[in-house]
Amino acid sequence: MNANSNDNGWWCKPQMNIENQSAFWDAQSDVYEGADMTNDNQQEMDVVIGKCRELSYEDMVTLGGAVGCRDPKLILSDLLARESGARPTLFFNDLSPKQVQRAREVVLKPFAKIGCKISYHPGEIREVCKEIVPKPRRLLVGIYDCRSFFDANPDAGYPLCGYDEYIKNRAILGDEFLLEWVKLAKDKKLVSCGIRAKVSCDDECETIAGVKKALTILRREIIDGAIGSINALQIIGRKVGRKGFFISHWYTPNGMLQMISEIFPTESFSISVSRFAKGTVFTIDPIAQIPVGVVTVLNNVIGNVLPHDQYETLQSIRGIVVK
């Protein structure tokens, strides 16, 4: 642990840009569907499917959908099981061109064959939102909870905590992880709080366990309010000799709610919160208009957005859920 070192010393982050981030996700296109990190969050999908069942919708926007094996596939499958003649229009996005290609050629192809009109749009969420016609839509945002990064819940289908899961999946995520608590600055970018740690998958078991224990203690103090206003735990994974990097943010109980409440004010939007083993789903509806579409941003997609772009990304999404 280190609270004072700077980014030019031992704490050396990879170059944080879209090109390097996209390179990481491109490399996952063939393995994403079967990864345990993809399939240990069924409670989120149960909440989302229930929220979608409450509406009659004409279109669905999937942002950051990876290869489409969770959203929209599971949502569409549930809809068609209940309404065999339903054919909503689908706008599908992911940052990675290769993930979008797999969605088009494999995962979502059966829905296209039965007449669903699907358009595919690789790229940053804040950019592709410019291509979407605004209309009243229900927005479903799913994020990870920092408490779940340290606490598993096997009975709820969440067998490994995030920390242990990341170490286990070093072949995908990286051999070394940089962990840092971040807060929302005045310019609406997530920035360092100065509380940092580094762990290597090649460290001794005692070292790996020690870093986890120290971070767990800090997490409790942060949630109890003993340590400032902190929004999330940022994790960056990297592997020597591999292009790209992995980044994720696991939010404090109020960390994402703070941003959502600012961007979607209560005089214009209703916000409900559903919590479960791994994280939270925020259901956001325009107050003055009945939603005729659904937007999904699930499985911590916002948490995978670069820290200086998360707030702006949510602002861009707001623009497509009201007419």
- pLDDT score recorded for residue 154: 95
- Quote the pLDDT of residue 307: 97
H-helix segments, the chain: 18-26, 42-53, 73-82, 97-102, 109-113, 125-128, 162-168, 170-173, 205-223, 255-263, 301-304, 310-318
Is the predicted pLDDT of residue 59 greater than 80, yes or no?
yes
| Domain covering 33-144+256-318, topology | Rossmann fold (3.40.50)
The answer to whether 317 and 193 have CB atoms below 8 angstroms apart is no
Is the pLDDT at 323 greater than 80, yes or no?
A: yes
Domain ranges of the chain: 33-144+256-318, 146-251
From the list 105, 106, 73, 78, the residue with the least C-alpha distance to 90 is: 73
pLDDT one-digit tens code per residue, 137-148: 999 999 999 999
**What is the per-residue pLDDT for 38?**
87
For residue 282, is pLDDT > 50?
A: yes
pLDDT tens by residue, 164-217: 999 999 999 999 999 999 999 999 999 999 889 999 999 999 999 999 999 999
pLDDT in tens, 99-153: 999 999 999 999 999 999 999 999 999 999 999 999 999 999 999 999 999 999 9
What are the Cα distances from residue 41, in Å, to 46, 79, 162, 276, 283? 9, 20, 11, 9, 17
Question: What's the rounded mean pLDDT across residues 3-17?
Answer: 60
